[in-house]
A and B are shown apart, each in its own frame.
Chain A
């Protein structure tokens, strides 16, 4: 006689040993691996993006008549990438044989130290990048017949064909960038990796609660 699905269901589970709940262990094992792998992938992609941008920028700056500024920015960005690759090597030293909690904790400590060290370096990077980025504007103002004449006739004191006050403003912005470089970097990093950092923090908080 044909059995209804209700009967199959009830009878099938009467003596089924498959309803024994699996043991709960390593709740976060896979998750911590996944999240760290994702962060590593993002960091790698970020390095490629910076490199591509640096070379495109060199082309653009050459076209704008300031190849040296473009080259300078290229070198600055290569420096950033080199630093990132170097840090990637130290990241690999984080002991993967640890349990998920300790691994995540070790990774989090490494990440915080890396960000703190980078923030110190970036205090120099941002002002230099800013000043180099101004060069095409300086070049255009100096070389443009109309703009050049306007500047010459303005009566302002000039340095390298540009009013001194403009240099002073640019320098003040660069100094501010130096002062707030660390904060700018943290803000910058947060835009790109903020969601993952938050996830790691949440996971660690959960794991700490689970352990307590």
Chain B
């Protein structure tokens, strides 16, 4: 991957890619793997970008798809390993950010379904309903209702009402 491509086409959107990768991983090691894979896939799929949407929308969609794919692959692999045999380095890292409230919010987001995580991340990044629907591949009319439901669930999780 050329340094120019990374600087101009990925780095400006790195913040959201990082936030998405963080929402789907529990360790620094996994996070770095996911981030690298997303960057690699963006670079490999760059010729598939037809300009029908904004580049940023395309980057978000690809990031979510890569994270979901890796997460599913990981889940399948985990079936072969007993959890008590996992090495120390794979233990959950729940203190990623200095802001405690943000750590708690991330913890709550990670308890959502895989798709809902993507929806709320894009909402928090102030993407429009239309953009979110476009990225997730759903009807824009349903997004508002879905976000409202997710926010309620997050609030309950943060208030400790839901396990």
CB contact list, B103-121 vs A, under 8 A: 104-105
Chain A residues with Cβ below 8 Å from B19 are: 13, 19
> Whole-angstrom distance from the CB of A26 to the nearest CB of chain B?
8
Report the stretch among B27-35, B56-64, B128-136 that lies at the interface: B27-35
Chain B residues with Cβ below 8 Å from A30 are: 33
* B90 touches A (CB below 8 Å): no
Cα A16 to Cα B19 with chains together (Å):
11
Also in contact, A21 and B154, with CB within 8 A (given A9-B102, A9-B124, A11-B99) = no
* Contact-residue bracket for chain B: 20 to 34
Contact A210 B1 (CB under 8 A): yes
Chain A residues with Cβ below 8 Å from B98 are: 15-18
> Whole-angstrom distance from the CB of B150 to the nearest CB of chain A?
9
Contact A19 B18 (CB under 8 A): yes
* B148 touches A (CB below 8 Å): no
Contact A8 B102 (CB under 8 A): yes
CB contact list, B74-125 vs A, under 8 A: 96-99, 101-102, 104-105, 124
Contact B18 A21 (CB under 8 A): yes
Chain B residues with Cβ below 8 Å from A5 are: 105, 124, 151, 154-155, 158
29 residue pairs of the A-B complex, CB under 8 angstroms, read A5-B154, A5-B158, A8-B101, A8-B102, A8-B105, A9-B105, A11-B99, A11-B102, A12-B101, A12-B102, A12-B105, A13-B19, A16-B98, A16-B102, A17-B98, A18-B98, A19-B15, A19-B18, A21-B18, A21-B35, A22-B31, A22-B35, A22-B36, A24-B1, A24-B36, A24-B39, A27-B36, A30-B33, A210-B1
